[in-house]
Amino acid sequence: MPFLSQGDRKPTTKHFTLGLVLGGLLWLPLTAQAERIFISNEKDNTVSVIDGTSLEVIETIRVGRRPRAMAFSSDGSELFVAVGDDEAIDMIDLETLQVVRSQSSGEDPEVIRVDPNRPYIYVSNEDDNIVSVLDYEARTLVTEIPVGVEPEGLGISPDGRWLIATTETSNMAHIIDAEAMEAVHHRLVGARPRHAEFSHDGSEAWVSSEIAGMVTILDMEETFDVKHVIRFDVPGVPRETVQAVGVALTSDGRYAFVALGPSNRVAVIDQQTYEVLDYLLVGQRVWHLALNADESRLYTTNGVSGDVTVIDVEGLRAIKSIPVGRFPWGVIVEP
């Protein structure tokens, strides 16, 4: 057989090189990060698209005025962007990267979440003290849920059962029954609560407080009460610059990451013991965070320095900062 007849030939440098190339090609798909990262630039009215392999901006999408929070549609075909000054949700087709439609959202939409079971978008309307529920398929307003003064952060449990709205003047976390569409529990948290994030098993909700510079952990299984409070102390940094905002939790229950605003740090926390393990230096005024699909990387938006820092989760170190538009606010990674 011709193939076997080559067996007695000694391997040459050419063969070795060919082997390396082929081996490299086989290895490539395993190591490449074929993901896209979307960044909303609050002052530029754009969404930057970063390629996860090259870590470079590959596209800039023009959207409505003052884009902030983003979320994917349940089928993953569209990206929703809350454009605050246009009082709407812009919807970007992920194939063409164009805004294909827009839906009215009520006044000053800031944070949005998508229901995992129904075609609903939850919108915090800061000026109206309500959470609006929009049907993005029927393009209708489903209902409005009254909450405290100046609702800001929204978090939804993995099963879609609970929604948490944080109100920055009331300093409360309002726990909303997503079936009944009404707030059933109200809990005091730290000053100016900004963000709510559920653990992947839905047993806890982590609520960050900007002015208090702390994270409150709520028990979401039985009592809905405050279970633990984490405070931050970045060495050498003035206390008032430590402002807790974005939160990201790994699905394996290992790490929690909290963006600490103008202290330019991301806190790394042990999800089990709530111990702060490290503070990672990133760009200026770090605001929101997003983990990629395999949770090997964490992306942060740095509002003042206008860039995105990429953190290697395994090594717990910042590996690169990528300039984007002016005042990047939200970040989301295509699943």
Partner 1 sequence: MRPTPWLHCLRGVVGRELLRFLHQRSRFLAALVRPLVWLFVFATGFRMALGVAMTEPYQTYILYEVYIVPGLVGMIQLFNGMQSSLSMVYDREMGSMRVLLVSPFPRWYLLICKLLASTLVSMVQVYVFLAIAWAYGIQAPALGYLFLLPALLVTGFMVGALGLLLSSLIRQLENFAGVMNFVIFPMFFLSSALYPLWRIREGSYLVYQIAALNPFTHAVEMIRFALYERFNMEAVLISVSVAAILLALAILGYNPSRGMMARKGG
Site residues, partner 1 (CB under 8 A):
234-237, 241, 262-264, 281-284, 305, 307, 309-310, 318-321
By beta-carbon proximity to partner 1, the closer residue of 101 and 317 is: 317
Nearer to partner 1 by C-beta: 224 or 287?
Answer: 287
Nearest-approach distance from CB 283 to partner 1, in angstroms: 6
**Residue 219 or 312: which CB sits closer to partner 1?**
312
Half-sphere exposure of 120 (CA within 13 A, CB side): 20
Q: Are 66 and 81 in contact (CB under 8 A)?
A: no
Q: Quote the tokens at residue 156.
A: 């939804």
**Which residue number, 189 or 282, has a Cβ lying nearer to partner 1?**
282
From edge to edge, which strands make up the β-sheet containing 265-270? Answer: 247-249, 255-259, 265-270, 276-281
Is 229 buried (19+), middle (13-18) or exposed (0-12) by CB count in 10 A? middle
Q: Give min distance, CB of 198 to partner 1, in A.
A: 30
C-alpha–C-alpha distance, residues 315 and 102, integer Å: 41
Tokens encoding 14: 């050419």
Q: Which is nearer to partner 1, 39 or 173 (CB)?
A: 39
We find the least distance from the C-beta atom of residue 331 to partner 1, in angstroms, to be 16
Shortest distance in whole angstroms from residue 212 CB to partner 1: 21
CB-nearer residue toward partner 1: 291 or 322: 322
Minimum distance from residue 122 beta carbon to partner 1 (Å): 34
Find all residues with CB under 8 Å of 144, minimum gap 6, and list them: 106, 125, 128, 130, 131, 132, 133
And the tokens for 263?
């202290």
Burial class (CB in 10 A: 0-12, 13-18, 19+), 181: middle
The CA-based angle 243-247-248, given to 5 degrees, is 150
Least distance from C-beta 43 to partner 1, angstroms? 19
